[in-house]
């Protein structure tokens, strides 16, 4: 298995109902859990959004400027399903941002697609109108279907990041590079941003190993041990 689509399909065949991504925000007490199937549905919707609404195509680039959040792995998966390169460049073909990124990216909405996530519970829309030209993910994503098939699917040679092909991304030495002791089927507790290069393996390792990620935003150090125990985590990163 050397592409994201192959890795996700294998996990869907293996155990589609198991938890894949559990998200906590200690500032709001929000908790969201996505099974493999639910995650795949969100990836399909986000893939449709990127292609049918934003007109992105295989080989183009996407900047994911989000804090640690459950939508970050969703847009990672959508980018790799379509064949986009997840980039840290300041000159991407499109960008997904959160509320804190609006001041930076909204002025560029006339030249590149800017998709904004409210980061409110359940992925709902912004409470206030967005700047002109900025697309509200919480509005646009719900009309997309729960299934998606790329008309020009990426291969293992397509770039997944600025530096790594899809095949390289899923190689064993990189998926295990988070410095954790995660074993196959384990649950990894992390406070890192999965959309950032240093934190990306905190999502790719659990997915590739048939495990799951427990992601905590705005972590309260006094509560992390409790989350670790309550979620039956087996490793930290």
Which three-class secondary structure string do you get for 100-143? Answer: HHHHHHHHHCCCCCEEECCCCHHHCCCCCCCCCCCEEHHHHHHH
In DSSP terms, which residues pair with 216 in a beta bridge?
Answer: 24
Instruction: Return the sign of the alpha-carbon dihedral for residues 149, 125, 32, 215.
Output: positive
Of the two residues 183 and 101, the one the predictor is more confident about is 101
Which 3 state secondary structure label does DSSP give 217? Answer: strand
pLDDT above 80 for 175: no
pLDDT digits (tens, 9 = 90+) for 14-33: 999 999 999 999 999 999 99
Contact 70, 119 (CB under 8 A): no
pLDDT at 178: 53
pLDDT surpassing 80 at residue 174: no
Stretch 39-51: mean pLDDT: 98
CA dist., res. 24 & res. 171, Å (int)? 29
Partnered with residue 19 across adjacent β-strands are: 35
pLDDT at 237: 85
pLDDT tens-place string over residues 128-153: 999 999 999 999 999 999 999 999 99
Interval 61-75 mean pLDDT? 98
Measure the CA–CA gap between 65 and 149, rounded to whole angstroms: 25
Spans of all domains in the chain? 4-236
Instruction: Say what the pTM is.
Output: 0.96
* Cα 122 from chain centroid (whole Å): 15
CATH of domain 4-236: 3.40.50.12780
Judge whether 119 and 99 are in contact, CB under 8 Å: yes
């Amino acid at each position: 298995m050397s592409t994201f689509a192959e890795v996700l399909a294998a996990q869907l065949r293996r155990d589609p109902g198991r938890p894949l991504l559990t998200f906590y925000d200690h500032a709001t007490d929000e908790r969201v859990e996505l099974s493999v199937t639910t995650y795949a549905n969100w990836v399909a919707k986000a893939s449709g959004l990127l292609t049918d609404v934003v007109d992105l195509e295989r080989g183009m680039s996407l900047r994911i400027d989000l804090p640690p959040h459950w939508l970050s792995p969703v847009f990672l998966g959508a980018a790799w399903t379509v064949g986009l390169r997840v980039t840290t460049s300041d000159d991407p073909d499109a960008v997904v941002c959160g509320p804190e990124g609006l001041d930076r990216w909204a002025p560029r909405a006339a030249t590149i697609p800017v998709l904004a996530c409210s980061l409110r519970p359940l992925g709902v829309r912004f409470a206030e109108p967005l700047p002109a030209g900025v697309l509200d993910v919480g509005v646009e994503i719900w009309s997309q279907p729960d299934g998606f098939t790329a008309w020009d699917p990426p291969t293992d040679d397509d770039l997944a990041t600025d530096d790594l092909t899809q095949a390289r991304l899923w190689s064993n030495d990189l998926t295990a590079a988070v410095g954790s002791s995660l074993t196959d089927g384990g649950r990894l507790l992390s406070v890192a941003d999965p959309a950032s290069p240093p934190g990306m393996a905190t999502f790719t390792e659990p997915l590739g190993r048939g495990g799951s990620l427990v992601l905590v935003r705005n972590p309260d150090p006094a509560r992390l041990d409790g989350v670790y125990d309550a979620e039956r985590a087996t490793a930290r990163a």
